[in-house]
Chain A
Amino acid sequence: MNEPVIIARHLSHTYQSGPLRKAALIDVDLEIARGSCAAIIGVTGSGKTTLVQHFNGLLRPTSGSIVVDGIDVGASGADLKALRQRVGMLFQFPEAQLFARTVYEDVAFGPRRMGLDRRAVRSRVIAALETVGLPKREYGSRSPFDLSGGQQRRIALAGVLAMQPSILVLDEPTVGLDADGREEFYSYLWRARKERSITIILVSHDMTEVAALADTLFVMHSGRLVMQGTPRQIFAEGDQLRKWGLAVPPLSELLLLLRRRGAAIPATAFTLDEAFEALQNSGRISKTT
C-alpha cells in the first residue's frame, strides 16, 4: 500500500440548524492511499457526502482530525485555497455549475482563479478538454448549454481537471446518465487517471457501478464507517450489506445464492472465472465443458 494521502482520525461532524442538531458523521477513521481509487458507498443520508466535503475543506470537522495531502483541514490556519487546488471536486449533476458563454471560458475559470498566466491557462484548458474527448478546436467556442447532458458533464469534469488536482472527488458523477453515457464518462475518467496519476474517490450508492473501478471500498451507514476493504472482501458479506440497504452486484448475488444451495463456491470467489474454476475443482462440473 502506498503512503496514505487522506488520513481521518475520529472524524465527527454535527450539523446545527437553529435548535436542532444532527450528527452526520460519527467517529470515522480511514486512510486512502495515494494513487488508488477508493469508493465510498452508502444509502442516501448515510453521511458519505458529508465525509467527502471534508476532503477539500468545504466542511470543517466538529471533532477529530483529517489531514489531506499534508494539510490539516481542521486547523484554524489551514490554507483552504491550496487545498482546493489539490482536491478537485465534482458534485451531483455537475452540469448545473456551468455558467460561461463558451466551453473554453468555463473550463478556464478554475485555472484563472489560480492566478496562472494566459498561456498556462490555455495549455491547461486544451489538455483538459482533450482528456475528456471534447477537443478545443471543435467545442471550445460553443456554448456549454447547447451540448448534450453527458457532454456537459464531461465539460464540468474538464473544468476540474484543468486545475490539475492530485485528488479528484466525484459525488455520484453518473446519476441521471444512461448506460452508454455512464460508460463513456468512466472511460474518460479512467483516461484522466492514467494520464495524470490522480487519486480518485468515488461516492455512490450503487455497488455494481463502482465494483469494477475501485481498489478499496468504504461502506457508510448512518454516519459511521461500518466496513472497509477490497471489493472482494466486501461483497463476500452480502447479507450484512443488504441490512444496510445496499444491493450487491448481480454476480455476487448469484454466487451467494448458489452457495446457499450447496454449490462449492468459496466466499472469496469474486469473478465468474474464479467461481467456475472452484466448481471445476470440486468436481461438480466436468473439466471438459
Chain B
Amino acid sequence: MMLRNIALGVYYPGNSLLHRLQARTKLLLLFCVIVWLILASHNLWHFAPYIAVVALICVSAIISGIALRYLARRMSILIALAIISVLSGLFRLPEPGDRLLATIGPLVTTYSLVHTIALTGGAALLAFVLSSLLPLPLLRALWRRGWLRGIRVLMVAAVLALLIFLWLTAGEAPAQRFTLGPLIMTYQNVWLQITVFVALLALYALSLLLTMTTTAVALIEGLTMLLSPLRRLKLPVDDFALMALIALRFIPTLIEEIEQLFKAQSARGADLMSGTIRERFQSLVGLFVPLMQGVLRRASELATALEARGYEVEGRQTMLHETVLRAPDYVALAIVVCLIVGTLLL
C-alpha cells in the first residue's frame, strides 16, 4: 500500500494519438528534437525554433490527454533548479569579441550595511517561510496556492545562502569597504542561458510525455529496434533488450511480493518503525530472507521457462508482435522534420 505510491511506472494509460504512435517513432522524434535544439543554439537571437518547440510540447500534451497542470507539477522542481542555474550563470566575465548587454556596478559600500541588509532580508524571508506552518486560516488559504509552494524551496535556499554569507564574512570590520561587481552581462551569455534553459525544460517535458504515453516494455522494444543496426558491430543488442525487459517485468512482481511479505510479517507483529534496534533488525531479516528466496526461485523458474520455450543465447531474437510504422507515425515524423527544417532556415 505504501509502495504503490511510488511513481515507478509513470505511464499514464490512455488511447490518444500520442499513445498509439510507435515507441520507436517517439524515440526518433525525441532524438530529432535534441539535434534541433543543439543546432538552433548556434544561431544567435533566432527564437523561431524555441517558440516552435514550446508549441510542439503544448500541442502534444493536449493531444495526449495529460493535463498541462499535471505535467507542470512534475516539472516544478526542475523549473526551480533551472531558474537558479540561469540566474547564477547570467553574469560572467566577457570573452574577447563579446558584445556587452549591461553592466551593474561596481557597487562600493561597507560591510556593516551589507550585513544589515542580509540580516533583515534573511529574517523576513524566514518569517515568511515559517508562516506556512502557522494554523491561521488566512495564511493557510494563501499558502495553498501552488506557485507559492513552489518558490518556498527557493526561499529556503536563499535563507541558507544568506546564512553562509554571513558566516563567511562575520570576521570583517564593519567599516571596511565591500565591493560588489562589476556584474557584466554579454549578449552571447544571455543567449546561451536562454537556450540552455529552454532546451533543458523542453527535453524533460518531452521525455516525460514519452514515458507517460509509452509502456516501459514498448519503450525497450522500440529502443532495441532502433539499435538493431549495431548488431552488425557484434554488439549484444538482443541480450541488452532481454535483460532490460526482464528487469522491468520483475519490478511490479517484486513490489507486490514485498508488499505481501510486509503485510504478512506485520500481521505477526514485525515493525520496522518501532522497537529496539535488535527487534527492528529481526523484522528486517523477516522481510529480506523470504524475499531473496522468492527472487532466486523466480529467477530459476524463469530460466527454465525460457529454455523450455526454446530460447537460444546465440540465436537472433525476434519480437512476438512485429509492428510496422503506420500512417500516424509517418505523419508525425514528417511534421516534426518540416518544423525543424523550417524554423532552422527561417
Q: Pick the contact of A113 from B12, B70, B270, B289 — CB < 8 Å?
A: B270
Segment 48-70 of B: residues with Cβ below 8 Å from A = 70
Q: A53 — nearest CB in chain B belongs to which residue?
A: B263
Given contacts A96-B290, A113-B279, contact A160 B268 (CB under 8 A): yes
Of B70, B269, B283, B293, the residue contacting A114 (CB under 8 A) is B269
Q: A59-B1, A113-B268 are in contact. Are A91 and B286 (CB under 8 A)?
A: no
Chain A contact residues: helix, strand, loop or mixed: mixed
From A15, A81, A88, give the contact of B4 (CB < 8 A).
A15
Whether the Cβ atoms of B264 and A91 lie closer than 8 Å is yes
Query: Which of chain A's residues 44-84 have a Cβ closer than 8 Å to chain B?
Result: 53, 56, 58-59, 81, 84
Could you mark each residue 1-35 of chain A with 1 if its beta carbon is under 8 Å from any beta carbon of chain B, else 0? Answer: 00000000000000111111000000000000000
B269 touches which of A16, A19, A53, A110 (Cβ 8 Å): A110
B261 touches A19 (CB 8 A): no
Query: B269, A20: Cβ atoms under 8 Å?
Result: no
- For the complex, what is the distance from the CA of A91 to the CA of B70, rounded to whole Å? 37
Give the chain A neighbours of B102 by CB distance below 8 A. Answer: none
Chain A residues with CB below 8 A from B279, complex form: 113
- A109 near B263 with CB under 8 A, answer no
Chain A residue nearest to B292 in the complex (CB): A99
A42 within 8 A of partner (CB): no
Contact B263–A91 (Cβ < 8 Å) = yes
A223 within 8 Å of B by Cβ? no
Q: Is the CB of B4 within 8 A of A113?
A: no
Q: Are A84 and B264 in contact (CB under 8 A)?
A: no
Residues of B within 8 A of A20 (CB): 13
User: Is B289 a contact of A84 with CB atoms below 8 Å?
Assistant: no
Whether the pair A99, B268 counts as a contact (CB closer than 8 A) is no
Known: A17-B5, A109-B268, A160-B268. A91 touches B260 (CB 8 A): yes
CB closest residue in chain B, given A98? B290
Q: Which of A180-210 contact B (CB under 8 A)?
A: none
Distance of B60 from chain A, by nearest CB (Å): 18
Indicate whether A84 sits within 8 Å of B261 (C-beta atoms), given known contacts A17-B5, A99-B286: no
Contacting residues, chain A, for B271 (C-beta < 8 A) = 81, 113
Point out the residues of chain B lying under 8 angstroms from A87, CB to CB.
267
Complex contact A159–B260 (CB within 8 A): no
Contact with A along B1-26 (1 / 0, CB 8 A): 10011010010110000000000000
Min CB–CB distance B209 → chain A (angstroms): 14
- Does B103 reach chain A (CB closer than 8 Å)? no
Residues of B within 8 A of A58 (CB): 1, 263, 266-267
Q: Is the CB of A163 within 8 A of B269?
A: yes
Is A166 close to B, CB under 8 A? no
Name B288's closest neighbour in chain A (CB-CB).
A99
Residue A85, interface by CB 8 Å:
yes
A269 beta carbon closer than 8 Å to chain B: no
One digit per residue, 1 when the CB lies within 8 angstroms of any chain A CB and 0 when it does not, for chain B 254-276 equals 00010011011111111100010
User: Interface size for chain B: under 10, 10 to 19, 20 to 34, or 35 or more residues?
Assistant: 20 to 34
Dominant secondary structure of chain B at its interface with chain A: helix
Q: Contact between B290 and A97 (Cβ–Cβ < 8 Å)?
A: yes
Q: Please name all residues of chain B whose beta carbon is closer than 8 Å to the beta carbon of A56 when the two chains form the complex.
A: 267
What is the chain B residue whose CB lies nearest that of A56? B267
Docked Cα-Cα span, A146 to B286, in Å, equals 18
Q: A58-B1, A113-B270, A113-B279 are in contact. Are A97 and B13 (CB under 8 A)?
A: no
A99–B269 CB distance below 8 A:
no
Q: Say if the beta carbon of B282 comes within 8 Å of chain A.
A: yes
**A84, B286: Cβ atoms closer than 8 Å:** no
Tell me the nearest residue of chain A to B260, going by C-beta: A91
Point out the residue from A18, A89, A98 that lies within 8 Å of B267, measured CB to CB.
A89
With A97-B261, A99-B285: A163-B290 Cβ-Cβ less than 8 Å: no
A165, closest chain B residue (CB): B267
**Cβ-defined partner of B70 (8 Å) among A19, A92, A99:** A19
The docked-state distance in angstroms from the alpha carbon of A32 to that of B140 is 44
Q: Which listed residue, B7, B267, B275, B290, touches A99 by the CB 8 Å rule?
A: B290
B269 touches A96 (CB 8 A): no
Which residue in chain A gives the minimum CB-CB distance to B274?
Answer: A81
| A94 close to B (CB within 8 Å) | yes
Whether B328 is near chain A, meaning CB under 8 Å from some CB there, is: no
Most B CB within 10 A of own CB, among A16, A20, A56, A96: A96
Residue contact A18 to B266, C-beta cutoff 8 Å? no
Q: In the bound complex, how far is the Cα of B270 from the Cα of A100, in angstroms?
A: 13
Question: Complex formed: what's the CA distance from A16 to B279 in Å?
Answer: 32
Looking at A18, A19, A114, which has the most chain B CB atoms within 10 Å of its CB? A18
Task: For A19, list chain B residues within 8 Å (CB).
Answer: 12, 70
B294 at interface by CB-CB < 8 Å: yes
Partner of A85, one of B5, B12, B260, B269: B269
Contact check, A97 vs B264: say whether CB atoms are below 8 A apart: yes
Interface residues of A in 93-148 (CB under 8 A from B): 94, 96-100, 109-110, 113-114
Q: Cβ of B1 and Cβ of A109 under 8 Å apart?
A: no
Contacts of A113 in B (CB 8 A): 268-271, 275, 279, 283
Complex Cα spacing A153 to B265, Å:
15
Query: Could you say which residues of chain A place their CB within 8 Å of the CB of B266?
Result: 58, 84
When C-beta atoms are compared, the residue in chain B nearest to A89 turns out to be B267
Q: Is the CB of A94 within 8 A of B264?
A: yes
A96-B293, A97-B265 are known; give 7 further A-B pairs, CB within 8 A: A17-B5, A19-B70, A84-B266, A89-B263, A94-B264, A98-B290, A100-B286
